[in-house]
Amino acid sequence: MALYTNFQLNNVMKILATVQNKGGVGKTTICRLLCEYLCRKNKRVLGIDLDSQCNFSRRFLTMEIDNTDLDGVLPPIHPDFDEKEDSNWDGRSSSADIFYSGQAMPYPTRIKGLEIMPGNGTLLRAVELVRADDVKEKVHDRLHAFLCNEDVQSLYDVVIIDTSPSKGPLTISAMRAATHIIIPTTMEPQTIEGLHGMLQLWRRETKRRRRGEELKIIGILPNMFRKGVALHDGLYHTLANDPGIVDLLMPNKLGLRIAFAESDHPMSEPKSVFDLAEKDPARIEAEIVCEHILEKIFS
């Protein structure tokens, strides 16, 4: 895929990032569900993994372990790689390349319509360590510039970006590139604290944009919710009574359901919650949430 050429989005391709600096709240899960759902609705989807843990990549590709780095995860060799013809390429491509060279090759997946730009653990961690003086040019603005590429905009209807549990440079680059964000949240005190930090970041980002190009928030998505649990009901009630938050709460929730975790397993059958029985509560909840997001993005 070619180097970026201009810095305009065409207003047709939508770019959705899931962000929340607390870990384990469902960022990757909602990205994965959306990829599956949007492809079933005939959208052409590009998933971008900006998290060095590479959980999102692993849902769709067989990632490899990098033996040179304790936490290293590598994308597989790209199916289009030809050793004889591509002598200047090691055959792997990752989202980190966007920040190093502005070029990256998405991978096809088993799902029709879905391509994935996987992470590379070591390289993404290095991107986060860019010096403060260089961070704007080398990280914050890079993903936006890449997605402004005319080729990218002609190939996809929606880009889904998964981020790490942080407010670091890569999360900022995702927010700068995004047209929409979602903030998944579990009903726990520390996660709610993280939520306020993300809302500040969203307000800051949307203020610096031109009129008409504001960063839209689809909403705060309560995840792993258990009705009848005093902590969950109580914290939800607090959010619903906070005038600064209530309008941002999504109308639906995802409950704590083993089916969502099970579908992460490589041997799981069916592979997607959308292939569970039509009346399965996990499938119904996921469809309601994803349909709401689809309508919001394209409204």
Ligand X SMILES: Nc1ncnc2c1ncn2[C@@H]1O[C@H](COP(=O)(O)OP(=O)(O)OP(=O)(O)O)[C@@H](O)[C@H]1O
Instruction: State the residues that interact with ligand X by CB under 6 A.
Output: 23-29, 51, 53, 55, 165, 223-224, 254, 256-257, 260-261, 264
User: Residue 157 or residue 162: which is nearer to ligand X going by CB?
Assistant: 162
User: Residue 34 or residue 177: which is nearer to ligand X going by CB?
Assistant: 34
Side chain identity, residue 199? L
How much is the CA Rg of the chain, to the nearest whole Å? 19
Q: Taking CA 248 as the corner, what is the angle to CA 242 and CA 254, rounded to the nearest 5 degrees?
A: 105
Helix, coil or strand: residue 299: coil
Q: Smallest Cα–Cα separation from 1: which of 100, 149, 120?
A: 149
Tokens standing for 144? 């936006």
Residue whose Cβ sits closest to Mg ion: 28
Under a CB-based contact definition with an 8 Å cutoff, are residues 240 and 246 in contact? yes
User: Residue 104 or residue 183: which is nearer to ligand X going by CB?
Assistant: 183
Among Mg ion, ligand X, none, partner that 171 touches (CB below 5 to 8 angstroms by kind):
none
Neighbours of 188 (CB within 10 A): 16
Tokens standing for 75? 């994308």
d(CA 225, CA 170): 28
186 binds Mg ion (CB under 5 A): no
Among Mg ion, ligand X, none, partner that 257 touches (CB below 5 to 8 angstroms by kind):
ligand X
Among ligand X, Mg ion, none, partner that 165 touches (CB below 5 to 8 angstroms by kind):
ligand X
Contact string (CB under 5 A) for Mg ion, positions 26-65, x = contact: -xx--------------------------x----------
In angstroms, what is the minimal distance from the CB of 162 to Mg ion?
6
Q: Which residue has the tokens 């399965």?
A: 280
Among Mg ion, ligand X, none, partner that 261 touches (CB below 5 to 8 angstroms by kind):
ligand X
Among ligand X, Mg ion, none, partner that 260 touches (CB below 5 to 8 angstroms by kind):
ligand X
Bridge partners for 217 per DSSP = 181
